[in-house]
Amino acid sequence: MSASPYERVICIQGPTASGKSALAEEIARRKEGEIVSADSMQIYIGMDIGTAKTPPQERGVAYHCIDIVRPGQAYSAALFQHDARKAIQDIQSRGHLAILCGGTGLYVRAALDEMDFARGDSESDARRKYTALAEKLGNEKLHDMLAQADPQSAELIHPHNVRRVIRAFEMLEEGESYAQRKRDFKNVPAHIPSVKLALDLDRELLYSRIDARVDTMIENGLVDEVHNLLGDGFRDALTSSQAIGYKEIVSYLDGCMSLDEAVSLIKQSSRRYAKRQLTWLRSDSEIIWLHANDGITDTLVATALDAIERA
């Protein structure tokens, strides 16, 4: 016998600006559900505008795994796995529908799949050591060092993706290869039964929505948000300070570029991120795709609910 929708987690994914949160909220309202956010930046307190959090006063349903740590605190997919599963268990124990919603693919898989994370996923002595090396030698030199130590992993990581290069070095110190771990992730069995939905849009429309979202973030006070975070020591936060939309505004506030240049760069980085999200999602054969060019309409919600019932 298949599990009922209330025994399974409903997982709603899609690229940035596709309408994931709106669909999740609509399903939650109709099905007595609660949302577990799977966004690696919405966990941070004070990072609201740039992460497109639904404002508290506009949330029609309960949210979990939002605003749980300060930007400078260490957090990881391993910690998210614990927090998300605890939230899912709590929601289901009260007879409600758990809806996992977010664009961080690793967080989604951490919550749902049988994944055992290496110890170094939170900040460590090794991370601090290689971060200091990157600052001293430069990102490309650090990548060259990785190519010498672990050429297969280096081939998978862009030289400018210093965070991932550092992570690969951390894993080497733990006796594991980033390349091997990535291969292993492709065949991980499920831990929690789920129904996976993902939103898809025509590429030009998606990019237009991304651009409009960035403009709205600026209008809503993203610059002031980043300025306030810097006053709280945000610059020294290794992970959160590198979030799209935040690192560019930091550069603007530091006088390294104009606001127009920062906004243009945020849009470009967001479009590239959306492409990476879609690539990740299309590797999952369990996903039911929903075409969302017209937005989160009653027809789309009905299609999503029908897919959930049929799955």
pLDDT tens for each residue of 179-217: 887 766 555 556 899 999 999 999 999 999 999 999 999
Going by pLDDT thresholds of 50, 70 and 90, the confidence category of residue 118 is low
Contact 143, 159 (CB under 8 A): yes
pLDDT, the chain, mean: 90
- Three-class SS of residue 267? helix
Going by pLDDT thresholds of 50, 70 and 90, the confidence category of residue 156 is confident
**What number of residues does the chain have?**
311
The reported pLDDT for the residue numbered 4 is 44
Domain ranges of the chain: 9-115+188-310, 120-185
Angle at 105 between CA 134 and CA 269, to 5 degrees: 55
Going by pLDDT thresholds of 50, 70 and 90, the confidence category of residue 123 is low
Of the chain, the percentage scoring pLDDT greater than 70 comes to 93
The reported pLDDT for the residue numbered 242 is 86
Contact 102, 197 (CB under 8 A): no
DSSP E strands in the chain: the ranges are: 9-13, 33-37, 63-64, 97-101, 194-200, 288-291
Q: The tokens of 157 are what?
A: 């990581």
Q: Which fold has domain 120-185?
A: Histone, subunit A (1.10.20)
The reported pLDDT for the residue numbered 2 is 42
The reported pLDDT for the residue numbered 170 is 87
pTM (2 decimals)?
Answer: 0.81
Domain 9-115+188-310 sits in CATH at: 3.40.50.300
Q: What are phi and psi of 157, to 5 degrees?
A: -120, 130
* Nearest residue to 217 via CA among 38, 26, 55: 55
The residue that leads in pLDDT, 292 or 181, is: 292
**Structure confidence by residue, pLDDT tens digits, 36-81:** 999 999 999 999 999 999 999 999 999 999 999 999 888 888 899 9
d(Cα 281, Cα 136) in Å, to the nearest integer? 36
Lowest model confidence (mean pLDDT) among 31-35, 117-121, 268-272, 288-292: 117-121
* Nearest residue to 225 via CA among 217, 213, 214: 217
Going by pLDDT thresholds of 50, 70 and 90, the confidence category of residue 121 is very low
d(Cα 38, Cα 83) in Å, to the nearest integer? 11
Most confident of 25-34, 134-143, 152-161, 231-240: 25-34
The reported pLDDT for the residue numbered 140 is 86
For residue 108, the Cα-to-chain-centroid distance in whole angstroms is: 8
**Structure confidence by residue, pLDDT tens digits, 1-13:** 344 445 799 999 9
Checking if the pLDDT of 120 tops 60, the result is: no
Q: The tokens of 231 are what?
A: 């006053």
The reported pLDDT for the residue numbered 311 is 85
Q: The tokens of 83 are what?
A: 């927090």
The reported pLDDT for the residue numbered 189 is 58
Checking if the pLDDT of 164 tops 90, the result is: no
